[in-house]
Structure 1
Amino acid sequence: MRIGEGGGVSAASVVVTSYNYGRYLAAAIESALDQTCPAEVIVVDDGSSDDSGQVIARYGRHLTPLLKEHGGQASAMNAGFRLSKGRVIVFLDSDDVLSPTAVERAVGVFHDPQVVKVHWPLWVIDEGGCRTGRVLRPVLSEGDCRDAVRREGPYGYTWPPTSGNAWARTFLERVLPIPEAVYPANPDLYLCALAPLFGRIGTVPEAQAYWRDHGANASLREPFAFRLAAAVKREVHCLGVLRDRCRELGLDVDHAAWVDHAFWHRVHRAVRDIDPVIPPWEAFILVDADEWATDEVVTGRRRVPFPERHGRYAGPPADDVTAVRELERLGDAGTRFAVFGWPAFWWLKHYTGLSDHLATHARCLLMNDGLVVYDLKPEGRARRER
């Protein structure tokens, strides 16, 4: 039901934030308007230079528009929240789409007054909106996650990206505004880190949104080295805020351990460790389940995703035979090294046939908490060294 048609004030608000995504914006807006549970829809355009304003204008009284100067994603979310009235808030990236039941399912979980955040998995769709078969965060944490965050920091529990979350207004009122200078991208880190300190985490086990993988996602627009540095900076800020909030609650934390195990800090160390192991002119296979979100070139070396289809990550192999065949195909094409990057070490346990193949036909050059590096053609290397 559309608020403009049904009238009244909704229990929920969907805040669509957008920057130069006019080509996807209509689908996001339609999905927010066509919820089975009425929700007010607010669309924040963050200074777009494309046709986003025209797209928004087509919906007239069915939504509340806000066109502002460009300030980044946190700025757009803060502005949208200030306009909202709902007791439950969903922030929807404008290249993503909600399932029709997303708000209804989330509101149902919020009937428990101790819940401050409800999250769900997301189907992955391609640029045209077709499902790829992949699901982001198929298994999510729920319940009291405070101790997990106290021990391990923001990544002590499993949470999805922005469009996979709904928030209690009472929680957002205590932690917003999100610092805009630090979080021009990925403000979900800030919110997801703090939520378990304020209440319970609820889960809708079935996917309630679609995450669009179109190769030009806003979070991937800058070069990988720039994005990695910015991500480390965000983690430093987030861990500091989380530490201070924990101390206010009388919770003892090991901040140094948080930093050591923080996702982007570990990726930064892993990327650095590639340099002394793989020659600058050599390409390498990167097994990271696309978690690192790298460019085609990493530290001056061509990166080949695994499995690879048309130059992009194709999702986990169906079985051991498929995995080994893909490794051999890429090796025969001239790629000499294979890098398993944390947090994808589980591939070596899950695909036992692949692991056995590497143990028999390759040589392990490095193994630490961020990388496992194999030389796929150790005999050729030995001949050159002689």
Structure 2
Amino acid sequence: MRIANLAQTLLIRNQTLETQARLQTVEQQIASGYKSQVFSGLGGEAKKLLDFDQAKSSLSTYVDSIVAAERRAKVMDAAMLQVSDIAKDLRADNIATFPYMNDTSVRQNVLTRAEEAIGTTISALNTQFEGRFLFSGYELATKPVDDTAADIIADAEAVLVANGFPVGTQPITPADIEAAVDEYLGIAPAGAATYYQSGSSDQVAVRIDANQELTYGVTADDDAFRTVLKGYLMTSLSVSRYDDLEGTAQGSFDTAYENARGFIEQGDDAVNGAVGQLGIQRQKMETTRLGHDSTIDILTQSISEIQDADVYEAITELQRLQVQLQGSYQVTAQLANLSLVNFI
């Protein structure tokens, strides 16, 4: 045998330093749970990690937007179903009271019910959620209907009077009443709904993907709501002009009252159609969100595989390195004590 030379000593020392560095890295992995504290420590996987992380962040933003839109759409759905329920109730009242409309007290009850229906519809259209009015389009801070039911009835009545039909005027026909209501609601001639305060009639949009926006919802001036309100206003104005209609021609009131019921039915159908359309939009949101969630899960797993340390494996490696380092120390100590005397 021969005495260890300087080269052997330096080799062992370098191996010891490498083991110490590796030991420090493993200790950091155990403490932090990450393979490396810096991207450069991941080598060629660093860029892939950045790409995955950016993709996950973008998808998470879309998911958050979709979830918020789903909450709002759900509330809108409930409000529109309430409008539909009101329409069904007033239609049923119209049918039930039709044979008894020559009774003054019955007519008064119908007027009250019509005003209540308008008021409840206004309340539904003024639904506010998370600080925004849901039926105001993009003017989120604007209350869509700022009038009371009594105001709306009075305004429609004012149009009828302006058209030359104050109370007590004969002849007056169901068509005259319908024309006044249409003018007030902006149905004919086509125009803005007088009751609608927002300047936006557009559906709101939500970004659900990098290249896709989804519009959803309706505004309070939608044709469906105008038609429902038309039925209510024709009910109110026809009943308030009962004597004038009957004085013009026998059966004129019956025609006007039946016409009102017809528009309530049409409006209810249109509202239900809007509910169905919103349901399709909500389904699109859910499908897209679930797809994003699945992709996020895959990206999360991929990111974990790149950056997360296997703690159990790291502990095993730590123990191995500690043994290796201890052995290096012992060899170094033995080499330091060797002399020619050991071999004579």
The interval holding the TM-score normalised by the smaller chain is under 0.3
Work out which structure has the larger RCO, using CA pairs closer than 8 Å and 6 or more positions apart in sequence.
2
TM-score by length of 1: 0.18
Higher helix share: 2
Give the greater-gyration-radius structure (CA).
2
